[in-house]
Amino acid sequence: MLLQRKQRDWQSLFFTGATGLATAVIVAMVVIIVGNIAWNGAAQVSLRFIFGGTEEGMFDAHRAGIFPMIFGTVALVLLMTIGVVPVGVITAIYLTEYAREDRAITRVIRGAINNLAGVPSIVFGLFGLGFFVQFVGGGIDKALYDGALHFGKPTILWAAATMAVLTMPVVIVATEEALKAVPKGLREASLALGATKLKTIWRIVLPQALPGVLTGGILAVSRGAGEVAPIMFTGAAYYLAHLPTNLTDQFMELGYHIFVLSTQSPDIERTKPILFGTVLVLVALTFLLNLLAIVVRAKMRARLRLAHG
Amino acid sequence: MDKPIIQINSLNFWYGPKQALFDVTVNIVPHRTTAFIGPSGCGKSTLLRCLNRMNDLIDHTRLEGQLTMDGQDIYAPEVDVIELRKRVGMVFQKSNPFPKSIFDNAAYGLRIQGMSDKTELAGCVENSLRKAALWDEVKDRLSESALMLSGGQQQRLCIARAIAVEPEIVLMDEPCSALDPTATAKIEELIQDLEKYYTIIIVTHNMQQATRCSDYTAFFYLGRLVEFDATTKIFTNPSNKQTEDYITGRFG
């Protein structure tokens, strides 16, 4: 019969198997990593651990708490977002709405952004130290405080600023994609009604692109919460007795704390439970921040679709 | 023929090195409907977009010749494009309501011109929706998203949005090409009503549409104006062989 399959289609079979296998490997990796962290960390995580301080024995599993690090991480990420989103969005607006693609300067800017995304994070850390801490901070101190040390030292402000530079490309690219996805017809409709370009961007294009902007924010937060190198020289502290209350304070941070725990402990076996617990909290915190942003984005999308008022 | 509201005088237009319009001269009569017909790529949409300077948005375009509205050159350096577009409204081929409520769509042009008084806005919105023959269908759901409307309703909303700012001229770029026959019939009827208030220029592929709703017809071919006359004359007794071939369906 004509419709009968004559032989097995080995190529399809092979590729189905290969792609399935590759996926399985990735899934297995995630399961192993998360499973290992959860399995070993769960016992350590308690209310005392999460809300406790480190006053006595930061390397002692029974007494150590990580609240200052959680506080520092959240504060850092929030400050970073406040810095990176406006600048990133405005840059993306310039690139999609104003810059002309055929100009050399546009290509240079795009190249710079792509390169920025490829710079190792430790380089950002050193850049932050040299630029923000010494140059900008030192400059402010010289100008306003007669050389007294206020801004010219590692602070949470400079750590957040460094992190904002690091995550800038993510926000710019995500926003650009969102802006480009806004239909040309909507811009034309607005312009044809006598709206200026600025009004068109502000009232039509940007509201449409907001979920995409938020995606950029989410990616930036995910990236920022996990980086240690950029804050090592710019604001993170090994140990502090008090929570940061001022932009010029130093702070403790989960990622940096994990680095400290794993390299500085006098007795690594006794510190291991804290290490797992801290990693679990960091992963959970990143997940929670992501979840929050994703929920907000979903709400925003639903509202755009129904668009009441 | 009344005194023309728009005079197009030996207009040439280029997209980069490619010339799209050659020496086009047409006069548009106020409070009449003028149809631009011709095969795809003949320049009719390009000409339409010259009239509200939408072509300014495309890089590397160039225009020569004269285009005047009420005697004023609309490409003169002192002309404010924003003001021009307030006086020359446009309805696009693909209906493009904003993802906002029906009310906010109709009110958009008024709001960007600074109207903020709620009762005044509501009055203008109702008026424009009535003129666009949409009021009865949407009056109870003005706060719903415009995207919930049918294709034909969306296009009528776009017409309402364009006329809410009281332009003098309304440009329509194949407004029915994406609509079914019933929705098309409604819009054609609407165009005939709107003639009272506005000067309408419609680009269409549909020759029956041109005969049904226009007073004057301009036939374009390969960027040149072949013939311009009263619609009845063009469709019953064209003076040019090419026009005759096109309207009888021999090409295009």
Domains within chain A, CATH numbers bracketed: 67-308 (1.10.3720.10)
Place of tokens 């929706």: B129
Question: Do A307 and B82 count as a contact with CB atoms less than 8 A apart?
Answer: no
| Per-residue tokens: A50 | 């999460």
Question: Do A192 and B89 count as a contact with CB atoms less than 8 A apart?
Answer: yes
For residue A226, the tally of other CB atoms under 10 A from its CB is 14
pLDDT tens digits for range B49-106: 999 999 998 888 999 999 999 999 999 999 999 999 999 999 999 999 999 999 999 9
Beta-sheet strand order (sheet of B61-69): B18-28, B6-15, B61-69, B72-73
Close Cβ partners of B242 (under 8 Å, ≥ 6 residues apart)? B219, B221, B226, B227
Max CA-CA distance within chain A? 95
Q: Which of A190, A193, A203, A301 to mutate to test the interface with B (most CBs of B within 10 A)?
A: A193
Nearest by CB: A308 against B90, B97, B101: B101
Closest chain A residue to the Cα of B141, Cα to Cα: A308
Q: Does A302 contact chain B (CB < 8 Å)? A: no
| Residue A98 CB-half CA count within 13 A | 11
Q: What residues in A contact B74, CB-CB < 8 Å? A: none
Strand partners, B225: B220
Q: Does A198 contact chain B (CB < 8 Å)? A: no
What is the distance between the alpha carbons of residues A28 and A25, in angstroms, rounded to a whole number? 5
Residue-level pLDDT, tens digit, chain A, 309 residues: 567 766 778 888 899 999 999 999 999 999 999 999 999 999 888 888 888 887 667 777 777 888 999 999 999 999 999 999 999 999 999 999 999 888 899 999 999 999 998 999 999 999 999 999 999 999 999 999 887 888 989 999 999 999 999 999 999 999 999 999 999 999 999 999 999 999 999 999 999 999 889 889 888 988 888 899 999 999 998 888 888 888 999 999 999 999 988 888 888 888 888 899 999 999 998 888 888 878 888 888 887 765 443
Q: Does A183 contact chain B (CB < 8 Å)? A: yes
Close Cβ partners of B235 (under 8 Å, ≥ 6 residues apart)? B207, B210, B211, B217, B247
Nearest-CA distance A176 → chain B (Å): 19
Closest chain A residue to the Cα of B164, Cα to Cα: A193
Buried b (16+ CB within 10 A) or exposed e, B135-146: bebbeeebebbb
Nearest-CA distance A169 → chain B (Å): 27
Question: Do B101 and A193 count as a contact with CB atoms less than 8 A apart?
Answer: no
Nearest-CA distance B232 → chain A (Å): 31
Q: Is A53 strand, coil or helix?
A: coil
Place of tokens 């009420």: B70
Closest chain B residue to the Cα of A183, Cα to Cα: B96
What is the distance between the alpha carbons of residues A74 and B115, in angstroms, rounded to a whole number? 43
Q: Is B219 strand, coil or helix?
A: strand
Question: Do A102 and B59 count as a contact with CB atoms less than 8 A apart?
Answer: yes
Nearest-CA distance B80 → chain A (Å): 10
Determine the pLDDT at residue B160.
96
**Backbone conformation region of residue A246, classed left if phi is above 0, alpha if psi is from -120 to 50, else beta:** beta
Closest chain A residue to the Cα of B52, Cα to Cα: A192
pLDDT tens digits for range A252-285: 999 999 998 888 888 888 888 889 999 999 999 8
What is the distance between the alpha carbons of residues A101 and A176, in angstroms, rounded to a whole number? 13
| Per-residue tokens: A302 | 């639903």
For residue A253, the tally of other CB atoms under 10 A from its CB is 31
| Residue A258 CB-half CA count within 13 A | 20
Q: What residues in A contact B82, CB-CB < 8 Å? A: 194-196
Strand partners, B201: B34, B171
Q: Does A186 contact chain B (CB < 8 Å)? A: yes
| Per-residue tokens: B195 | 């003639």
SS (H, E, C) A258-288: HHHHHHHCCCHHHHHHHHHHHHHHHHHHHHH
Determine the pLDDT at residue A203.
94
Strand partners, B217: B35, B229
What is the distance between the alpha carbons of residues B218 and B243, in angstroms, rounded to a whole number? 10
Q: Contact A298/A229 with Cβ under 8 angstroms?
A: no
DSSP strand E in chain B: where?
Answer: 6-15, 18-28, 33-37, 61-69, 72-73, 88-91, 169-173, 199-203, 216-221, 224-230
Nearest by CB: A194 against B103, B147, B165: B165
Closest chain B residue to the Cα of A301, Cα to Cα: B99
DSSP state, residue B146: G
Residue B82's closest CA among A189, A193, A97?
Answer: A193
Q: Is B79 strand, coil or helix?
A: coil
What is the distance between the alpha carbons of residues B136 and B181, in angstroms, rounded to a whole number? 21
Q: What residues in A contact B177, CB-CB < 8 Å? A: none
List all residues of chain B from 43 to 102 with a beta carbon under 8 Å from chain A.
52, 54, 57, 59, 82-83, 85-86, 89-90, 92, 94, 96-101
**Radius of gyration for chain B, computed over Cα atoms and rounded to the nearest angstrom:** 18
pLDDT beneath 50: ranges in chain B: none
What is the distance between the alpha carbons of residues A44 and A61, in angstroms, rounded to a whole number? 7
Q: Does B134 contact chain A (CB < 8 Å)? A: no
**Backbone conformation region of residue B12, classed left if phi is above 0, alpha if psi is from -120 to 50, else beta:** beta
Nearest by CB: B82 against A186, A188, A194: A194
> In Å, how far are A41, A49, A270, A277, A283 from A37, measured between CA atoms?
5, 16, 17, 8, 9
Question: Do A194 and B90 count as a contact with CB atoms less than 8 A apart?
Answer: no
Question: Do B92 and A306 count as a contact with CB atoms less than 8 A apart?
Answer: no
Determine the pLDDT at residue B43.
92
For residue B115, the tally of other CB atoms under 10 A from its CB is 15
Closest chain A residue to the Cα of B83, Cα to Cα: A194
Q: Contact B7/B24 with Cβ under 8 angstroms?
A: no
Question: Do B89 and A306 count as a contact with CB atoms less than 8 A apart?
Answer: no
Q: Does B144 contact chain A (CB < 8 Å)? A: yes
Say which amino acid occupies A6. Answer: K
Determine the pLDDT at residue B252.
59
Question: Do B83 and A194 count as a contact with CB atoms less than 8 A apart?
Answer: yes
What is the distance between the alpha carbons of residues B227 and B241, in angstroms, rounded to a whole number? 10
Phi, psi of B155 (to 5 degrees): -65, -35
DSSP strand E in B55-198: where?
Answer: 61-69, 72-73, 88-91, 169-173
Determine the pLDDT at residue B233.
94
Q: Which of B82, B95, B142, B171 to mutate to test the interface with A (most CBs of A within 10 A)?
A: B82
Nearest-CA distance B247 → chain A (Å): 31
Beta-sheet strand order (sheet of B169-173): B88-91, B169-173, B199-203, B33-37, B216-221, B224-230
State how far Cα A23 lies from the chain centre: 25
